[in-house]
Amino acid sequence: MLTFAVAVILLILTPGPGVMTTAGFGAAYGFRPSLRYVLGLFIGTNLVMLAVISGLAAILLSIPWLRTVLMLVSVGYLLYLASRIALAGARVAFIEAKVPPGITGGLMLQAINPKAYAVNTSLMTGFNYAPDSPLFELASKALILNTIWIPIHLAWLWAGVSLHRLDLSERAHHRINIAMALSMLGVVALAMWSATQAQP
């Protein structure tokens, strides 16, 4: 169980579309207005978890044309986001936010977020610690995952708010942008690798 908890921390803490946009909305709108978006992400990640546990995600992703469409949408969006971050110049720009964040936005992002599916599949199908009680294991995994997910995303939200307040040098802003863009490209690479592994 402890190994599972450590895996949750490491997998969720790494930058992906959810935490990047959470920080971005925090920088654009502040902490409290962005909580609706984080709530949407929270609901979305739990729906993805249910899809993985029930096998629905596996069924849908087994349809070649649907899997291809979903992958193209996901990878296209992630590449767009990475390019916006890398080309943001001297300003820290997680994502350009033109409209206030909301629950629907968070839900929609998780629906096309390959990291959400990869993380949930890895966590729910691996790290078995109660093979004689699968229901207990699934329920406790969901509880542990959510207990860790909430503070990590709130921390990323606060990081976005805090970075917006800092007067960093242009060089520091540029380095942050490049590091975030590379992290996003890493997510794209993971998504593409997962897609090739899922091929029948």
- Dist CA 111 CA 69 (whole Å): 13
pLDDT, tens digit, for every residue of 3-14? Answer: 888 878 877 777
Give residues with Cβ within 8 angstroms of 111, minimum separation 6: 44, 47, 48
Whether 24 contacts 95, CB under 8 Å: yes
pLDDT, tens digit, for every residue of 165-196? Answer: 776 777 776 677 677 677 767 766 766 665 56
Of 30, 7, 13, the residue nearest 164 (C-alpha): 30
Of the pLDDT bands very low, low, confident and very high (cuts 50, 70, 90), residue 63 is confident
- Dist CA 131 CA 55 (whole Å): 18
> How many domains does one find in the chain?
1
* DSSP calls for 12-66: HHS--HHHHHHHHHHHHH-HHHHHHHHHHHHHHHHHHHHHHHHTHHHHHHTSHHH
Q: What average pLDDT does the segment 73-81 reach?
A: 74
Both tokens of 108, joined, read: 């929609």
Q: What angle do CA 123, 128, 132 make, to 5 degrees?
A: 135
What range does the domain containing 37 cover?
Answer: 2-197
Q: What average pLDDT does the segment 107-127 reach?
A: 84
Whether 145 contacts 48, CB under 8 Å: no
Report the length, in residues, of the chain: 200
pLDDT reading at 101 higher than 60? yes
Helix, strand or coil, per DSSP, at residue 91: coil
Q: What is the pTM of this model?
A: 0.76
